[in-house]
Each structure stands twice: as structure tokens, then as C-alpha cells.
Amino acid sequence: MTATFSDWLESVRASDGDVIVINNSFVGRDKRSIRTTKNDQYLCLTVRNGAADPTSVCVSRPGDQDSDFKLIKAKSGNMPGLEPLHSALQTEIDRIGRLVFVLIGEVREIPAAVQLNSRHAAELRFEPQASHAAAIGQNAAGQRAIVINQLADPEIAWNGVCGLIQQELSGDLSSFQTAFGTAFNKLCEEAKLELVLPEADNAGSGSSFMSGIRAAVSAQCNQYCSVLQEAPGEAGGAESRNEAMRIAYNFADDALKVLQLLICVADLKAVLLWGTIKNHFEMAEAFRALPWAKSEKKPSLDQYRKMIGGARNRAFHNLLTFDRTIEADLVGVRINARRLTLLPAYSRNRSTIALDYEDREMVELLSELTRAEETPVPVEFWSKNATVMRAFEKLLERTESVLWTLNQIRGEVVA
């Protein structure tokens, strides 16, 4: 039980037989980012001896609720129907389907090939399992092919190829290098990764789609926490703060899309939510602990993204140091008008200068100087944001673990 739950339970003075309904969504839901509706099934606990009995978990459909926890008095007369958790679990597992297991599908590199417009070779082929950086092979038509084993560094690939056929290139080196560069870029565009759904009895994979996401998030969390340790007064402190903002911006832009996906999947697959509900709640608690602007009624993913984006705009997109709009007092300044144009042709309306006056060009150039939108963010926001990132990392880890457990259960059912 979390401290928040314990404090709430103490405040409502629950009696034996009362039922506690736990919400199934804890962050602000806006239709632009979360397109599903909340699942109508809620986990419930019965109060015994003045405390929530963890052995009494049931599932109910009491109707929508906004608060994290809701107490229904045993004598209230509106007690919802309660279904034992094991029965509800079986129903959900039977209808979970296979698509959700895409999240833990194994990601594999697969071969790819493109045409190489050169008399020295007809094809450039990517073979991820090849043992050498470059090799000579053949395509399906028996023509000569250049085989490479990575797409991350074109220079390594070129040096390997050049070492193989440099002698025969002679004066044709430059044109072949151009043809190779063009083919390499095209190969990078066309090469794909293959995602293979897990077998029903598979217990885990270190190369799953979700484990790849989790590894990237973990690396970013570690880097973020590391740069935050740089004291503001020390040399390099400003650079560290900017780096922290860069990482936070990437997290807000990319990781939140994954969080939105997890929330939507939890809406659709109640059994996945039940296995991760503690982590969803801790994620929401981390959001709530951020120093939000007092005007905000409820923290939301969209507002979180806007706050970090606004802070980053100030740090990265404002060359000029002015933090507010500037208005010049021009009282007494005369504008020597030149020409007023009325009723221009509709097609030329935007390009027509309605009022032309002396030094108009200078005014227009000055008006093009703008400042990036900025959201004031307290310093403590960045340290507490580390807790948000860690909570997300744990949510990913727990979700992946629950999916593998469900996959094993699915295998037992199939068997």
C-alpha cells in the first residue's frame, strides 16, 4: 500500500464491509493524446479490521469515477456487483488476443539489397550476419554484388569495399565512390527490421520491442541524472543544464508517446492494467509532485510536454536575451506617408502594401525579430522530473514482465 492510499483510507474512516474502488486511470486524459475510453472494470478491496484486505481483491463495474480511490459504504444500498479476481482474470486472458504481444515481439535485422549503378558491381546488399565489413558475392541473377554487414557508418563500409576492389578501380575510383554512396543511402532507406511475435510458451527475450525501448529510456535516465549533478556554480554548469533540458525535451516528445500507448493498451486490456496498476499510480504521483503552475487544475501529459518545450525554447531558440515583448514609445514621431492602396485584385491582396510610408522597410525588418514562447519552470522541476523518468522506466519494466507472464499463461491454455 502506498502512503497516499494509507492517508486517504485513514481520512475516510472506513468500516468493515465497506468496498474501496481503485481508479483505472490516474493522469489527465485529453482526447488528442489518449484516444481510447477508460475500461469499465475496476479493482476493488473490502475493508476488514479497519484496513484494506489484500486477499479480497475483486472486479466491479461501479460506473466512471475521477478520484483515485472511492469508498462505498456497506450500508449505502448502492453496492456494485463484485466478481472474484480469478474469474475476471480468466475471462480477460481468454479474450486477450495476439496483437498486444507485438510489444514483446523479437526485433531482428534482416537482409536488404539495392541496385548499384556501376560496371564493377550490380548490387549492394546488407547482410547483418556477415562476418566481414565488406565482401564480394553474387545476386540472384549471378551478377557481382557487394556485401556489407552494417548500415551505421558509411565510411567503415566504404573503406572495406575499397580495400577489396581498389586495384581494379584505377581511374574509376571517384565515379564508383559516388555510385556506392548513392546505393548506401538508398539501402539505409529501404532496409527494415523484422518483428516476430513470441511463441505462446516463450518466457522472455532480451531483444524484444519493449526491451529496446526500455534500454533507451534507461540510458537517457542515467544521462539525465548525471548531468543534473553538475552544480550551477561550477564551470560547465550552464552546459549541463542545457543538456538536461535537451534530454527532458526528447523524453517529453518521444517517451510520452509510449506512455500514451501503454495507457491506451491498459484501457483495452484490463488484465494488463491490473498487473501494472501500482506502477501507473506511481507514474501519476511523480507527475503530481512536479511544481506545476498554480493555474493548472490537473496535471496532464500535454501540459507536461508544453512546460518542458517552453523551457527548452528559451534555452535553445532565443539568441537575443530579452524575455518580454518590447514596445517603443513613438508618441511625437511623424510617419511620412507615401501611398495608400485600396481595392487591389484579390489574387494580389497579400503582396500589396496597403500603406506605404518612409522607413517602412526598416519597421518590417524590426518586426521580424521575435522571441520563442517560454513557460516559466522552477529549478526544482528538473530534479523532480528525474523521478518521473524513473517511474516511467519502472512502468516499462513491469509492463514487459506482465506481458511475458501472460504469454506463458497463454501457452499453457493453448497446450
pLDDT band at 254 (very low <50, low <70, confident <90, very high): confident
Please state which of the ranges 53-62, 133-142, 194-203 shows the lowest mean pLDDT. Answer: 194-203
- Average pLDDT of the residues of the chain: 86
**At 342, is the secondary structure helix, strand, or coil?**
coil
Strand order in the sheet with 19-22: 69-72, 19-22, 42-48, 51-60, 82-84
Q: What is the bridge-based pairing of β-strands 144-148 and 134-138?
A: antiparallel
Residue 306: partners with Cβ closer than 8 Å, 6 or more residues away: 375
- Spatial CA neighbour of 102 closest among 197, 194, 204: 197
Q: State the average pLDDT over residues 149-178.
A: 89
pLDDT in tens, 25-57: 888 777 777 888 899 999 999 999 889 999 999
Residue 367 has pLDDT above 60, yes or no: yes
Question: Torsion angle, CA of 226/232/233/234, rounded to 10 degrees?
Answer: 20
Between the alpha carbon of residue 17 and those of residues 20, 48, 59, the distances in Å are 10, 6, 16
Tell me what pLDDT residue 323 has.
63
Residue 293 has pLDDT above 60, yes or no: no
Cβ atoms of 348 and 284 closer than 8 Å: no
Residue 269 has pLDDT above 90, yes or no: yes
List 357's β-bridge partners, or say none. 337
Instruction: Tell me how far apart the alpha carbons of residues 237 and 112 are, in angstroms, rounded to a whole number.
Output: 45
* pTM score, whole prediction: 0.81
Tell me what pLDDT residue 299 has.
62
Instruction: Tell me how far apart the alpha carbons of residues 257 and 22 are, in angstroms, rounded to a whole number.
Output: 25
**At 51, is the secondary structure helix, strand, or coil?**
strand
**At 73, is the secondary structure helix, strand, or coil?**
coil
How many Cα atoms within 13 Å fall on the side-chain side of residue 138? 4
Cβ atoms of 146 and 152 closer than 8 Å: no
Instruction: Tell me how far apart the alpha carbons of residues 255 and 412 are, in angstroms, rounded to a whole number.
Output: 33
Residue 235 has pLDDT above 50, yes or no: no
Residue 116 has pLDDT above 60, yes or no: yes
Residue 396: partners with Cβ closer than 8 Å, 6 or more residues away: 210, 213, 214, 217, 258, 262
Sign of CA pseudo-dihedral 269, 274, 275, 280: positive
Cβ atoms of 57 and 20 closer than 8 Å: no
pLDDT in tens, 91-103: 999 999 999 999 9
pLDDT band at 210 (very low <50, low <70, confident <90, very high): very high
pLDDT in tens, 370-383: 765 666 677 788 88
Instruction: Tell me how far apart the alpha carbons of residues 30 and 188 are, in angstroms, rounded to a whole number.
Output: 37
Instruction: Tell me how far apart the alpha carbons of residues 399 and 278 are, in angstroms, rounded to a whole number.
Output: 11
DSSP secondary structure letter of residue 80: P
What crossing angle do the helices spanning 379-414 and 301-316 adopt, rounded to 10°?
130
